[in-house]
Amino acid sequence: MTVIVSASRMPVGMALEVRNIEFDLNKQLSKDWLNNDPFKTAFFNALSMSFPAGERFFIESVRHFRDEVKDPKLKQEISSFIGQEGMHSRQHRKYNQMLSDLRGYSQEKMEGRTEKLIRLGQKKMSRKAQLAATCGVEHLTAILADKILNGWMLSDVDSQMRSLWQWHSAEELEHKSVAFDVYIDVGGDYKSRKLTMRLFTVNFLLDLLANTAYMLRKDKKLWKWSTLKSGFDFLCGKRGVLREMRSDYLKYFDPDFHPWDDDNRHLLENWQVPNAA
């Protein structure tokens, strides 16, 4: 008797749901919504600016290989992955437009940085390398999602803003293995996965910091001592981004790594789904 092994390694019983949810962010985006801290607020706003183009890239890189995938379970997960990422892109596009209108930023300039980086990657990299890059960035977002759902950084912000970031985080955890499973199924190799992670980590961080600095400069807060100190603590401090993410980040470079090695389904079980639109 032949045993058919599924290409999907998503835990049994999990299902991806595409949720259409709206958030009222007008009051929050008009101010420094994260602990009244200009740097932290600008950094998270810069994350949002990277999402529309980034999510489209993830969708395209996975969808390109859909017809090569034979496992019906993984095929369904691909469809749900595309749906979830499409919703993320749409919602953050609205976020970015509202933020720019309220605070006089150039949405085109900031989103354009990410779009330019992605176009360069698409020009220089094979389709499989683009999928490898998607696996890497999906791991980065899954780490951040885990931290957010564990209460890191956003526990005291306005409920609507917290709901948006938790919704995005929960769905990133739900589908964190989809691109990776597709990559392995179509013959992706460890060397390319490792190399693209290193390249995209550097470029992704530079992109975020460039947009963070742009917003702080527009607000005339970039060179204030309090901003510089906050930025250093936020990035490099004891509970800063780089220290918080370091150990989970390095796990990706294990040749036998899989996203669900870290089984954090309990975070999804504890998450309360906001009211759908």
- The answer to whether residue 16 sits within a structural domain is no
Query: What's the pLDDT at 5?
Result: 65
pLDDT for 154 beyond 80: yes
Cα 160 versus chain centre, distance? 19
- pLDDT average, residue stretch 16-28: 90
Residue of higher predicted confidence among 275 and 171: 171
Query: What's the pLDDT at 252?
Result: 96
Structure tokens at 143: 């780490």
Structure tokens at 188: 């992706």
- pLDDT average, residue stretch 96-120: 95
- pLDDT average, residue stretch 67-82: 95
Query: What's the pLDDT at 1?
Result: 39
- The answer to whether residue 6 sits within a structural domain is no
Confidence label for 78 from pLDDT (cuts 50, 70 and 90): very high
Neighbours of 267 (CB within 10 A): 16
* pLDDT digits 0-9 by tens, 181-215: 999 999 999 999 999 999 999 999 999 999 999 99
Cα 37 versus chain centre, distance? 22
- The answer to whether residue 117 sits within a structural domain is yes
- The answer to whether residue 17 sits within a structural domain is no
- The answer to whether residue 14 sits within a structural domain is no
On whether the CB atoms of residues 37 and 215 are closer than 8 A, the answer is: no
- The answer to whether residue 2 sits within a structural domain is no
- pLDDT average, residue stretch 130-149: 95
Q: Which domain holds residue 249?
A: 33-270
Element (H, E) at 60: helix 38-63
Domain count, the chain: 1
Query: What's the pLDDT at 275?
Result: 62
d(CA 213, CA 211): 5
- The answer to whether residue 196 sits within a structural domain is yes
Confidence label for 4 from pLDDT (cuts 50, 70 and 90): low
On whether the CB atoms of residues 214 and 109 are closer than 8 A, the answer is: yes
Q: Model's pTM, two decimal places?
A: 0.93
d(CA 181, CA 191): 16
56 exposure class (CB count in 10 Å sphere: 0-12, 13-18, 19+): middle
- The answer to whether residue 209 sits within a structural domain is yes
On whether the CB atoms of residues 179 and 138 are closer than 8 A, the answer is: yes
